Amino acid sequence: MDVRWITFTSPPERRGVLIPIEASRDVPFEIKRVYAVVRPDPGLARGAHAHRALTQVMVALAGRCDVRLDDGETQVVVALDDPARGLLLEPMVWHEMTGFSTDCVLLVLAADHYDEADYIRDRQEFLKAARSSK
Ligand code: TYD
């Protein structure tokens, strides 16, 4: 499956790294929700679901983690470890985050408000839906 990264353009700054992220410019949607996952338990996994319609961009503002992406046919594991690079998470992609560093802070920009009905949390249901949509 394709992995789509978005590189954010940082202005030259001597005082630290500044990363502007503008809706519809740096990410391909109007941002309706922002959430952060702050120092998740390094021994546990997060995610393990897909969204029916939601598009998101995930950025490791600090630290790192691995993200397994799976479109129902192929899987890929990528490292999220650069605050200047966002991972585009499209609808109907099963994703699971593991390997968190103890300092990990994930920022997630979402195209819509929280809606539990948009989640597919059951793996078999996801595989069935992903295969029938191809
Ligand atoms: P979930 O998306 O399953 O977390 P993760 O993918 O990091 O494992 O969400 C965990 C809980 O938090 C779940 O009960 C739903 C709730 N939640 C909200 O209320 N609002 C939100 O914006 C998000 C992302 C989750």
CA–CA distance, 9 with 11 (Å, rounded to integer): 7
Return the pLDDT at 43.
95
Q: Is the CB of 5 under 6 A from ligand 1?
A: no
CA distance readout (Å), 65 to 5, 13, 50, 130? 15, 26, 18, 25
pLDDT tens digits, 64-91: 999 999 999 999 999 999 999 999 999 9
Closest CA to 43 of 90, 102, 94: 102
pTM above 0.75, yes or no: yes
Return the pLDDT at 63.
98
CA–CA distance, 60 with 121 (Å, rounded to integer): 23
The pLDDT of 32-46, averaged and rounded, is 97
Q: Is the CB of 37 under 6 A from ligand 1?
A: yes
With 0-12 / 13-18 / 19 or more C-beta atoms within 10 angstroms meaning exposed / middle / buried, residue 56 is buried
* pLDDT reading at 134 higher than 90: no
Return the pLDDT at 21.
97
